[in-house]
């Protein structure tokens, strides 16, 4: 798509007003042949340069928008492009606007020498300053996006979208093959490749782009707006979803039966809860480091008009292949990196986080150790404890060891009635304590891993009743109950400042 086709397909009709920036390129455009080439491109494509910027509306939301056009000298980044992008972020910062930037590039404008290279730093620092003001930046990587653009402002966004069919990378495929002598695999550096390797949130077709952007702007546009509290948050109070019930009523099954229920293949997964509880739910992918761990899912949506970011462990319960792909919900270091990225996104925009916990533990094995599993779990614990936004953790299935705890550091921790939460699996406990893994039933009783026991010990704050063990058939009923509890939760904490939220969370875990 060329600049004007893209502009018309994305923005509200008649809303675009270009930023008229006076940019003198005389000191960098000194070669006559290069100057003549620029003039030929201007006439041919009816563009002044490789990027157009301005103010517009998308789905009724005012934005600062930039569109790079690969037809114009492959949208290579020289002084003009870098200056225009930098000023786009400066305009947006001054006007308190989100930035939507369609990126494209074949690399540096080498005719301009070091001036071209230095645009990477200039654009990056303007982008970072915009972000520090709590403003949203959505980057759309179009075909092609390479070189210094990819290695600077294009990938510094809060949300990164890849256009369907785009080629994206740092060095081009031909350069890599010539330099290394290695034949690259099919699909290398495609949009899908980048999603699989954790570098973009989603791959979106041009037909869906406007709706996708509008949905993101809808959600983030309401971020940070707290409702007035109807009642104060309880200071260390613990109560059941139905206070009239005796806690013992929830323990009608022995512990091992609850373990089996928590592991049951028909028990709903984190994604099912997210899609039921949150409207317009949009998954966000990738850890921005090395991959997109299928064992950890997350995204953003609305809860009764309030933006919420949800993060959870996803067990693959459709078939054995899906279970293996998702590693039975056991997160790798990549999954923990993804969770931290989404937590930081929530903190920036003061969006509450709801965790859904369902794992027997974190991934173990050579690969996890080589990638620093212990280190990243420790970092996630630290991040969750100091996160300056409201957090809630709901244990919906099996919650084991540090892999579960990393997702259960929150202002409140809830459990579904037939879920379980423990330091280790019953099989592991029996093997360590009695040297006999067959004593798993006795171990389940000994560990006190049921919701009723953990509630009495004040490890958890609330129990969500399951009149019948939850399945897809009665999920609506459970989610209706959970929805009422969520609304009450947000009301009770709505009056607290960001600092008070952190202190309440600290005090909660300090008491254990």
Closest by Cα among 169, 122, 160 to 28: 122
pLDDT at res. 316: 85
Cα 391 to Cα 388: distance, rounded to the nearest angstrom: 9
Position of tokens 């990587």?
Answer: 141
Phi, psi of 210 (to 5 degrees): -60, -45
Residue 31 has pLDDT above 50, yes or no: yes
What's the burial of 445, exposed, middle or buried (CB within 10 Å: 0-12/13-18/19+)? middle
Segment 52-102, tens digit of pLDDT: 999 999 999 999 999 999 999 999 999 999 999 999 999 999 999 999 999
Segment 455-489, tens digit of pLDDT: 999 999 999 999 899 999 999 999 999 999 999 99
pLDDT at res. 236: 42
| Residue 105 near residue 92, CB atoms below 8 Å | no
Q: What is the DSSP string of 83-151?
A: HHHHHHHHHHHHHT--EEEEEEESSB-GGGTHHHHTHHHHHHHHHHHHHHTT--EEEEEEEEE-HHHHT
Comparing 70-84, 343-357, 428-442, the range with the smallest average pLDDT is 428-442
Hey, what are 81's tokens? Answer: 């492009």
Q: What is the DSSP string of 422-463?
A: ESS-HHHHHHHHSS-GGGHHHHHHHHT-BHHHHHHTTS-SEE
Cα separation values, 215 from 98, 386, 456, Å: 14, 29, 42
Phi, psi of 375 (to 5 degrees): -60, -45
Segment 97-130, tens digit of pLDDT: 999 999 999 889 999 999 999 999 999 999 999 9
| Residue 424 near residue 404, CB atoms below 8 Å | no
Q: What is the mean pLDDT of the chain?
A: 91
DSSP assignment letter at 153: G
pLDDT at res. 235: 44
pLDDT at res. 407: 96
Cα 51 to Cα 68: distance, rounded to the nearest angstrom: 4
Q: What is the DSSP string of 176-187?
A: HHHHH-PPPPTT
pLDDT at res. 238: 43
Closest by Cα among 407, 58, 382 to 220: 58
Question: Rounded mean pLDDT of 431-448?
Answer: 90
Distance of CA 212 to the CA centre of its chain: 15
Detail the DSSP E strand segments found in 335-477: 353-359, 391-400, 412-416, 420-422, 462-464
């Amino acid at each position: 798509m060329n600049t004007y086709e893209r502009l018309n397909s994305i923005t509200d009709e008649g809303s675009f007003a270009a930023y008229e920036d006076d940019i003198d390129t005389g000191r960098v455009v000194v070669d006559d042949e290069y100057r003549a080439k620029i003039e030929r491109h201007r006439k041919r494509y009816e563009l002044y340069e490789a990027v157009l910027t301005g103010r517009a509306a998308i789905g009724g939301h005012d934005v600062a928008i930039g569109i790079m056009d690969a037809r114009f000298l492959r949208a290579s980044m020289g002084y003009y492009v870098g200056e225009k992008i930098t000023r786009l972020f400066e305009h947006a910062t001054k006007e308190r606007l989100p930035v939507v930037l369609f990126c494209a590039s074949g690399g540096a404008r080498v005719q301009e020498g070091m001036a071209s290279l230095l645009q990477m730093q200039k654009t990056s620092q303007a982008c970072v300053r915009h972000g520090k003001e709590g403003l949203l930046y959505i980057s759309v990587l179009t075909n092609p996006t390479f070189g210094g653009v990819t290695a600077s402002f294009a990938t510094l966004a809060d949300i990164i979208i890849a256009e369907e069919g785009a080629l994206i990378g740092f060095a081009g495929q031909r350069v890599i093959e010539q330099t290394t002598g290695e034949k690259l695999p099919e699909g290398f550096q495609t949009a899908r490749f980048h999603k699989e390797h954790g570098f973009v949130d989603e791959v979106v077709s041009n037909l869906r782009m406007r709706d996708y952007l509008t949905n993101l702007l809808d959600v983030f546009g309401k971020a940070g707006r707290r409702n007035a509290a109807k009642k104060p948050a309880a200071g260390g109070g613990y109560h059941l979803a139905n206070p009239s019930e005796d806690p013992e009523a929830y323990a009608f099954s022995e512990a091992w039966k609850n373990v089996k229920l928590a592991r049951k293949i028909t028990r709903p997964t984190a994604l099912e809860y997210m899609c039921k509880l949150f409207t317009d739910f949009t998954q966000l992918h990738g850890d921005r480091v090395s991959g997109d761990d299928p064992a950890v899912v997350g995204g953003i949506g609305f809860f009764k008009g309030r933006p919420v970011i949800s993060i959870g462990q996803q067990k693959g319960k459709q078939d054995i292949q899906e279970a293996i792909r998702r590693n039975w919900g056991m997160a790798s270091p990549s999954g923990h990196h993804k969770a931290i990225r989404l937590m930081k996104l929530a903190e920036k925009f003061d969006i509450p986080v709801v965790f859904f916990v369902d794992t027997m533990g974190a991934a173990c094995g050579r690969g996890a150790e080589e990638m620093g599993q212990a280190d990243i779990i420790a970092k996630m614990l630290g991040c969750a404890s100091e996160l300056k936004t409201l957090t809630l953790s709901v244990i919906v299935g099996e919650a084991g060891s540090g892999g579960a705890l990393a997702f259960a550091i929150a202002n409140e921790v809830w459990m579904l009635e037939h879920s379980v939460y423990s330091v280790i699996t019953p099989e592991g406990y029996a093997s360590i304590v009695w040297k006999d893994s067959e004593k798993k039933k006795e171990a389940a009783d000994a560990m006190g891993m049921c919701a009723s026991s953990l509630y009495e010990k004040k490890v958890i704050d609330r129990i969500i009743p399951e009149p019948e063990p939850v399945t897809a058939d009665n999920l609506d009923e459970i989610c209706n109950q959970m929805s009422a509890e969520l609304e009450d939760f947000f009301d009770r904490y709505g009056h607290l400042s960001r600092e008070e939220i952190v202190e309440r969370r600290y005090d909660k875990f300090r008491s254990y």
